[in-house]
Structure 1
Amino acid sequence: MKLPPGPKTPSWLLALQFEADVFGYMDAISKRYGDIVTVMFGSTPTVYVSNPLGIKEIFTRGKEIAARGALNQDFALFTGKQGVLQLDGSRHKNRRKLLMSAFHGARMQACGQRICELTEKIMSLQAIGKPFLAYSTVEDITLAIGIEIVMGLRQGERYERVKHLFASVFKHELSPLLQLFAKLPFWGWNLGRWSPQGNLLYLRQELFQLLYAEVQERRKQADLSRTDILSELLLATDEAGEAIADEEIRDLLISPIGAAQGASATAIAWALYWIHRLPHVCDRLLEELNSLGENPDITSILALPYLNAVCDEVLRIYPTQLFAFPRIVESPVEIMGYKLSPGTILIANIYSTHQREDLYPEPKQFNPERFLEKQFSTYEFLPFGGGSRICIGGAFALFEMKLVLAIILSRYQLKLMSKKPEQPKFDGLLCYPASGVKMVVLSQHQHQGHLQSLVTGSV
C-alpha cells in the first residue's frame, strides 16, 4: 500500500486545529499536501480527495469501494438505528427510492404554494426597525415546511410539540457549552437532565416517542387522500413485499425533517447574508424577479438563471455539507496513482473541491456569474455529495431555497446590522453562520406586485 502524503500530527491535535479554524486549516492542508491527503485516526488511514477525477473514482468504483451504513453510525443518536444513512444493500435502495420519489415531481410543485405562504406568515412577524436573527427565522420556516411535507402536520398540540423538540435537539447539539463538554472525559456520563449528555438523550427519547405515537395512530387511521411522506411510507412495502415496521418508519422520518431544518436553513441564511452584503447581487436579483411581471407561476421563478446562480454560489463557497459520506476500500484499488488496501476510508472533500482555483478563479470571492459562464460536472460541484449516498433531499432543498428567497426579497427590504464579515462555524456536520446573520426590516413593499399570487390563500 502506498498512502498519499499527510500531516503527522496526532489526530486529537488535528481535531483541535480543525475546530479552531475549519476553513483556514483545510486551506492550509490542501496547499501543503495537494488534492489527496491522508490523515491517520489511530491505525486507520482516512484519505480525503478534492480532485474531481479522484472523486469520480470514489463514487463509481462500487466493486472495490463501498458506502457502508456502518460508517454513518455516529449519526444514529439523532437519526435512529434504521435511518436511511445506516442501511445497506437492497434495504437501503428500497428505502432510498421511497424517500427520493417523495421529494420529486408533483409533490414538489404542489407544496410550492405552501412554502410561499409559510415564508410570508413567519416573515410578517418581524417588526419594521427591530433587529432579528435571519438564521433563526429561516429555521422556523424550514422546520414548519419539513414537518408539514414529511408528516402532514400543520397545527395542533402534536405539531407544536414535534416542532419544539426538533428545534430543542438541534439547538442543544449546537450549543457552545455542549460542544465544550463533548471534548471532556466525562462527556459520556449520563446524569439525567442535569448533565448535557443526559439532557440531550432525554430530548431525543421524547422526540422519538412522539414520532412513534404518530406513526402508530396513522397506521390505524389510514387515509388514502393524504400526500405526505409518512402516509406513503405507511402504504409502502419493503424489498420483500412486506409492510415496513412502525419503528423503522419513525427513523426514516427524522433525516428529511432534520435536513429541512438544518441544511436548508443554513443555505438560505448564508444566501441572505451574501445578497445583502453585496448590493450589486441584490439589485440584479430584484431586477430579475421584477422581470417576470405580474402573477408568474412557480416554474418561472425556479427557472430564473441569476437566482439559480446565486443559490449555487452560496452552496459552493460555504457548502452546508463539507464532506461527502465516507466510503471504505473493500478490495485493493488504485486512486490517483496510490494503491490503497482494504480498510482504508475514502472521503470526498466537498469544501476543498469548491475552493480549487483551476475550477473557480478567486474562490474566496462570492461571484454568482461563474455559474452563468460555465457548467460544472457533478464531480466539480457537489454540494449534496454524490454516488449512492447523495442527499435525498438535494433537489427539494434548492426548490425551497429559491422560493423562500424570492418571497423575502420581493416583499421585504432588509439590511445587515453589522459591517463585519459573517464567520462560518462548523458543528460536526453543518457549516452555519456563527452570529446568525443579524438583520433588520427597513420596510415592507406596499405594492406586492408579481409575487402576490403565490402568497394568497389560507396560512
Structure 2
Amino acid sequence: MQLPNPLKQSSFLQRLQWVIDPVGYMEKAACQYPDIFTSLSIGSNNPVVFVTEPQAIQEILTNDRKKFAALGEQNRILRPIVGDYSIFLLDGDRHRKRRQLVMPSFHGDRMRNYGELICNLTEKVFNQLPVNQVFSARKLTQEISMQVILQVVFGVYDGERSQQLKQQLFKVADLFRSPLTSSFLFFPFLQKDLGSWSPWGKFLRDQQQLDQLIYAEIAERRAENNPERIDILSLLMSSQDEAGNSMSDRELRDELLTLLLAGYETTATAMAWGLYLIHQKPEVREKLLQELDTLGDSPDPMSMFRLPYLTAVCNETLRVRPVAMLTFARVVQEPVELLGYSLEPGTALFGCMYLTHQREDLYPEPKQFKPERFLERQFSPYEFIPFGSGARRCLGEALAVFEMRLVLATILSKYQLALADNQPEIARRRGVTLAPARGVKMVMTGKRARQESPVSLVNV
C-alpha cells in the first residue's frame, strides 16, 4: 500500500524522536510535506498519516463512521492511565451514549456555579506566595487546577480524603513529567513491574492506592444519595442511559481518571503558557489590564469570562502553544481520496493541531504571539482546533476554557507578576502533551489595585 509522503528514517528512530523532541519531529516533516505526511511509528506498530490542511481535517473529522471511524482502540496508549472503560477507548454506540451521559455536567447553569469557586481558589493559592521570590508558575497552576478537579469533578473539599486524593493524583500524573518517563507509554516493553523501586512498579502501586480512595468515595456517595450535590461525580452517578442503566463503579473510576488526564494537566499547562506569553509582551498585558479594569472592583465571573480581549489572549495562547498535538485518530473504512492521495481501509489518520496552528497561510508570522488575530477574523473549527473536533472533541472543553479565562483574569487583576529571567521557555513532552520545559519561572512583586484609569500598582 502506497502511503502519502512517508518519512525516510527507520520506525524506531522516528518513534524515538517523536518521544524526545515531538516539536522538532513535526516541524522538520512539515518543511518537506506541509499538508500531509506518513509517520512510520509514533506509538503503534503501524504507519500513521499526519494531516495539517484544514479542509482535509474537516473531511476526516466530519465523516465519522462512514469514510473515517474514530476507533477507541487507536487510543490504547492511554489505557494504563484511564482503564478499559474510559470514553477515550469506547466505540460506536457505547461511545455516543457515554458522551450523552457526561456532556450535561459541563454546560448551562452548572458552569456558572463553578465560577466563584475557581476565582476564590486562585486567590487562595496566590495569597500564599511570598513577595520577590522566584516560583514556578506551572506548579501554582497545577495546584489551582488540582483543586478545581477535586472540588468541581470529585466533589471533595477540605479533609483527610481530599489531601490523600490530591497526593495520589499528583503522584500518578507526575510519572510522565519528562520525555524519559513518557517513554513508558510509547514503548510497551518498558511497562514491567520490577517491584516498588522500579518506575512502572511504583506507578502501578500509586495507581492502586488512588483506586482505593476513588472507590471509597464512590461507595460513600452512593450511601449518602444526596440529590443536591452538583459536582460532576454526583451528576455522573445519578445519570442514566436510554435503557435506564447507571454507570458502574469501574466505569465511574475510569471516567474520573479520564477527566483528570484531560482536565488537570492540560489546563494547568495552558494557564502557565498564558502567564508566560502575556508577561513576555508588555503591550498585551497592559491592554488586558485595561479591559479587566472596566469591570470594577468585584467583577462577576461571567462578565470576566465574556471579555473579548481576554478571550483572544487565551485563544492565541492555545494556538501558539497547543497542549495537545494531535486529534484522536480516525481509521479509513473504505477506499478514499484525500488531498490527491488514495487511502486504503485500515489507514490511521491524525489531524495535527500543532502544525495546523503553525500554517503561514492561516496565521502570518505564526511563531509570534498576536491575540489581535482572533479579533480581526474568525477561524473555522478546523483551522483553530486546540480541543479536537467531531465525535471525539474534548468533553471538558467548556470547563477548561472557563477555568483558563477566570484564573488568568483573577491573577492579572490582583497581582503584579514578572518573569524571573530572560530565558526562553521551550515546549517539551509531558506524557502525551506539550508543557513549558522550565515551568515558567516568575516573581510576585506586589498586589495590584484595580482602577479604571490609570492602571495603578500597590506594593505589599
Mapped partners of 2:21, 2:51: distance in 1:
20
CA contact (8 A) 1:324 1:349 kept: yes
SS at match of 1:48: strand
Unmatched tracts of structure 2, length 5 or more: 453-460
- 1:21 aligned residue: 21
Equivalent residues of 1:90, 1:239 under 8 A apart = no
Partner residue in 2 for 1:60: 62
| Residues 63-142 of structure 1: pairs in structure 2 closer than 5 A | 63-142=66-145
**Cα drift, residue 171 of structure 1:** 1.4
Equivalent residue number for residue 389 of structure 2: 386
**Structure 1 residues 232 and 186, CA, compared in 2 at 3 Å: closer, same or farther?**
closer
Higher mean alpha-carbon deviation, 7-16 vs 372-381, is at: 7-16
Indicate the residue corresponding to 2:49 in structure 1: 47
Kept after mapping to 1: 8 A contact 2:179/2:429: no
Find the counterpart in structure 2 of residue 437 from structure 1. 440
Between the aligned partners of 1:64 and 1:181, the Cα distance in structure 2 is: 33
Alignment of 1:257-296 (within 5 A): 257-296=260-299
Write out per-residue CA displacement over residues 192-241 of structure 1, whole angstroms, 9 at most, x where no aligned residue. 21101100111111111211121122112200111111111221123422
Question: What residue number does 2:457 align with?
Answer: none
Shift of residue 291, structure 1, vs aligned partner: 1.7
Q: Deviations over 1:395-429 (max 9, x none)?
A: 21111101001110011100111102111101241
Amino acid at match of 1:48: F
Amino acid corresponding to residue 8 of structure 2 in structure 1: K
1:453 maps to none
What one-letter code is carried by the residue in structure 1 that aligns with 2:55? L
What do the CA deviations read for 1:5-53 (whole angstroms, capped 9, x no partner)? 1212111111233344322321221111221111223873311100001
2:427 to 414, 424, 429: 424
Deviation at 1:294, TM superposition (A): 3.7
Given that 1:324 and 1:347 are in contact with CA atoms closer than 8 Å, whether structure 2 keeps it comes out as: yes
CA RMSD of aligned residues (A): 1.8
Partner Cα distance (2:234, 2:185) in 1: 37
Determine if contact 1:416/1:439 at 8 Å carries over to the other structure: yes
Equivalent residue, structure 1, for 2:212: 209
- Please tell me whether the aligned partners of residues 94 and 238 of structure 1 are also in contact (alpha carbons under 8 angstroms): yes
Between 241-250 and 344-353, report the one with greater CA deviation: 241-250
Check conservation: 2:427, 2:435, Cα contact below 8 A: yes
Identity across matched positions, percent: 45
SS in structure 2 of the partner of residue 193 of structure 1:
coil
2:220 matched to 1:197? Answer: no
Query: Residue type matched to 2:402 in 1?
Result: F
Output the CA distance in 1 between the equivalents of 2:187 and 2:59.
38
Aligned to 2:455: none
Residues 148 and 61 from structure 1, CA distance in 2 versus in 1: closer, same or farther, beyond 3 angstroms?
A: same
Q: Residue type matched to 2:155 in 1? A: G
- How far the C-alpha of 1:184 sits from its partner, in A, is 8.1
Judged with a 3 Å threshold, the aligned counterparts in structure 2 of structure 1 residues 295 and 387 are, in CA distance, closer, same or farther, namely same
> Aligned AA for 1:353?
T
User: 1:31 is matched by which residue type in structure 2?
Assistant: C
Residue in 2 aligned with 1:454? none
Q: Residues 345 and 185 of structure 1: is their aligned pair in 2 closer, same or farther, counting only changes over 3 Å? A: closer
1:455 aligned partner: none
What residue is the counterpart of 1:158 in the other structure?
A: 161
How far apart are 1:177 and its partner, in Å? 5.6
For 1:221-260, what aligned pairs fall within 5 Å after superposition? 221-260=224-263
Distance 2:207 2:147 in 1: 19
Letter of the structure 1 residue corresponding to residue 63 of structure 2? R
Q: What's the CA shift for 1:258?
A: 2.7
Q: How far did residue 302 of structure 1 move? A: 1.4
SS in 1 for 2:259: helix
2:403 to 392, 400, 403: 400
AA of the residue aligned to 1:417: A
Gapped regions of structure 1 (runs ≥ 5): 451-459
Residue aligned with 1:405, SS: helix
Q: Which deviates the most, 37-46 or 307-316?
A: 37-46
Q: Report how many aligned residue pairs link the two structures.
A: 449
Work out the CA distance in 1 between the residues paired with 2:84 and 2:45.
Answer: 26
- Which residue is equivalent to 1:335? 338
1:17–1:176 Cα change, 3 Å: closer
CA contact (8 A) 2:178 2:428 kept: no
- TM-score scaled to structure 2, two decimals? 0.94
Comparing 15-24 and 277-286, the one that deviates more? 15-24
Shift of 1:74: 1.4
Work out the CA distance in 2 between the residues paired with 1:372 and 1:310.
Answer: 10
Find the aligned partners of 1:21 and 1:187 in 2 and give their Cα distance: 19
